[in-house]
Amino acid sequence: YEAKKTGGISHLYSPAISEQRQQRLSLENRLRHAIDHEELALHFQPLFNMQTLDVIGTEALVRWPQEDGSMLSPGNFIPLAEETCLIRPMGDWILEAAARQLRDWHDAGYPLTMSVNLSLKQLQSEGDVERFFELVRPYIDPRWITLELTESIVASDPSAIESLMHKLSEHGFQIAIDDFGTGYSSLSRLQHMPIQILKIDRSFVDQINTPGKGNAMIPIIRQMAASFGLLTVAEGIENEAQYQHLCKQGVDVGQGFWFGRPVPEAQLREMFLQGATIVPPQM
């Protein structure tokens, strides 16, 4: 009878599940510790003017260095950070670290822009907008900072997000819609949002030169951006054929492994020292 009972209990509280919860809890505690001790790192990926190949700026992408020397990608810890609200202190650190880095680059004579990704949980009230401004202001004019919001964030609560976007914009921040073309936002609303940039989702770039796949989306997004007066950025450009195709389509800015991977600041500086020209976009 005892054995049967134990068997029943172990069936309900399967060790596999409790192990999973334990791992999650330990990951959460390690992440909290990493944020508190400023152990996260930023890598930077350059953005290029498609026509001139000048660098116009960089995108900050968060990384979590592990004790064994490996590096966790945001896909491995951002979802957990979002579920546990750790995204708020993490996001504050990222924004301030990005602004501080930009100050350094400007002081060194590199007039770059900086794109920073935001999660929905970081943008809940006007207080968040004020805090972003206070975090950035000691280092740099917010005009040099582009905040990237995914199209799905914008679609999640369009009127609330729109009003926060207006506040961000009043403080000088530039706003980009990230992963555009996949998030089901309302185009009529988009037209009235204070945004400057559409980042065409990587999935559309992947389809270029793939036999059988339609390439209809890119010219449509391009035309829409032109009529709204927005700059287009193509992300995930991995080869010259994709670059040539997007260039012909009139896409303004490119980003991807073909131009350069996300790298630590020292490696990016190396690229500047080797003579990459930096020309920020007209703002």
| CA 65 from centroid of its chain's CA atoms | 18
Does the protein bind Mg ion through residue 58 (CB under 5 A)? no
User: At its nearest, how many Å lie between ligand C2E and the CB of residue 73?
Assistant: 4
Contact positions with Mg ion (CB under 5 A) in 166-195? 178-179
Binding partner of 257, given Mg ion, ligand C2E, none, CB within 5-8 angstroms per partner class: ligand C2E
| Separation CA 60–CA 42 (nearest Å) | 6
Does the protein bind ligand C2E through residue 73 (CB under 6 A)? yes
Q: Is the dihedral of CA 139, 144, 150, 154 positive or negative?
A: positive
Binding partner of 153, given ligand C2E, Mg ion, none, CB within 5-8 angstroms per partner class: none
Stretch that binds Mg ion, among 113-121, 225-233, 240-248, 267-275 (CB under 5 A): 113-121
Contact positions with ligand C2E (CB under 6 A) in 174-203? 178-179
Which is closer to Mg ion, CB of 10 or CB of 73? 73
Contact positions with Mg ion (CB under 5 A) in 135-154? 148
Whether the CB-CB separation of 37 and 233 falls below 8 Å is answered with: no
- The amino acid sitting at 83 is E
Does the protein bind Mg ion through residue 117 (CB under 5 A)? yes
| Separation CA 118–CA 79 (nearest Å) | 13
What is the size of the binding site for ligand C2E (CB under 6 A)?
Answer: 24
Burial of 18 (0-12, 13-18, 19+ CB in 10 A): exposed
| Separation CA 283–CA 281 (nearest Å) | 6
Q: Select from 131, 123, 185, 133 the least CA-distant residue to 154.
A: 185
Binder among 31, 86, 118, 233 for ligand C2E (CB under 6 A): 118
Tokens of 121: 């949980």
Does the protein bind ligand C2E through residue 151 (CB under 6 A)? no
Binding partner of 128, given Mg ion, ligand C2E, none, CB within 5-8 angstroms per partner class: none
Residue spans of alpha helices (H) in 111-206? 126-136, 151-156, 158-170, 187-190, 202-206
Where along the sequence are the contacts to ligand C2E (CB under 6 A)?
A: 45, 60-62, 73-75, 78, 91, 94, 117-119, 148, 178-179, 235-238, 255-257, 262
Where along the sequence are the contacts to Mg ion (CB under 5 A)?
A: 117, 148, 178-179, 235
